[in-house]
Amino acid sequence: MLLRPTTTRLLQSAASRSFPLYASVYRPRPFSSRSCLFAPVESQPSSEKPEEPKKPESRQTPPSRQPPSLGRLLLIVGTFSACFYALARSMRKEREARRDLKLPNPEIPPEMIEKFKRPAFTRDEVKVIFVLGGPGVGKGTQCANLVRDFNYVHLSAGDLLRAEQAREGSQYGELIKTHIREGIIVPQEITIALLKNAMTAEVKQGRTKFLIDGFPRKMDQAIKFEEDVAESEFTLYFDCTEDVMLQRLLKRGESSGREDDNIESIKKRFKTFVETSMPVVDYYRKQNKLISVPCEKSKEEVYEIVKAQISDRMVI
């Protein structure tokens, strides 16, 4: 008959208390369905070593960090400053050496560099006089007199722009028309390109003296033209009051047919000239490259002043 595990343990416990000799000789086996109630076993010494009790781990407190001394800080700062000074001095010497050397790019021949740097025409090849003045001051009339008497080529920036505007198929026609109507300065790239093309065509025919009328209208135009096209000899500035110029423009508008010869456009042109062109006049005056001519007198009197002033500057 098989017994339940609980019953077996109770019987084993009772036998151990009643028969001490039994407890010393017999040891219960693990219960299984095929095991007997009691089984004799031999006592064998245990081969396992007793576990030693673990000692509690002692936590060591980290040493407290002390701030670096003043001497060490000064040493670090001094070392860094010396390295920075040496690096800056080395870079400065290198820049100075490059600036003094001025070596061209080895991939581009020096003659090509000079060709790109210089303008299209030198002062020996062409003579250029800028002609400035407010609208209606009489620039065109005086330029026509110089062309007639001294074989100058008169290039009017305004006339070139209007011709380009009227040219069939021009990609800048509408832009030029809008700028002229609003009294706004046309982009310098267009104006300078037109002047350069016109000068090139005249130089091919042997004509090298130019009166450029109504240009430059802004400082960037003056600088760009002298860098890319030609350096000017001087600037001829016709000075006149706005009242006199207004009367002349209104009278001219009766027969000229120009879109900008109306009171609204005239006032815009006056404002644009004062704001943009007067700095150009002042710039050339400081360079001693300005001839100022009062224009409130008659045309003949003004022309005599122009001839006298130009003859003092150059052979006409």
Phi-psi region of 136 (alpha: psi -120 to 50; beta: other; left: phi over 0): left
- Give the distance, in angstroms, between the CA of residue 306 and the centroid of all CA atoms in the same chain: 44
Produce one character per residue of 169-178: b if its CB has 16 or more CB atoms within 10 Å, e if not: eeebeebbbe
- In the annotated binding site for ATP, the residues are 136-141, 252, 297
- In the annotated binding site for a ribonucleoside 5'-phosphate, the residues are 162, 184-186, 214-217, 221, 258, 269
Report the side by side order of strands in the sheet with 153-156: 153-156, 209-213, 127-133, 234-239, 290-294
- Within 8 A by CB and 6+ apart from 249, the residues are 135, 136, 261, 266
Strand, coil or helix: 60: coil
- In the annotated binding site, the residues are 136-141, 162, 184-186, 214-217, 221, 252, 258, 269, 297
CA dihedral 198, 204, 206, 212 (to 10 degrees): 10
- Within 8 A by CB and 6+ apart from 162, the residues are 176, 180
Are residues 152 and 209 in contact, defined by beta-carbon separation less than 8 angstroms? yes
- Spatial separation of the C-alpha atoms in residues 234 and 89, rounded to whole Å: 45
- Spatial separation of the C-alpha atoms in residues 302 and 33, rounded to whole Å: 142
Name the token pair of 15: 């036998």
How crowded is residue 255: how many other Cβ atoms within 10 Å of its Cβ?
A: 8
Are residues 159 and 269 in contact, defined by beta-carbon separation less than 8 angstroms? no
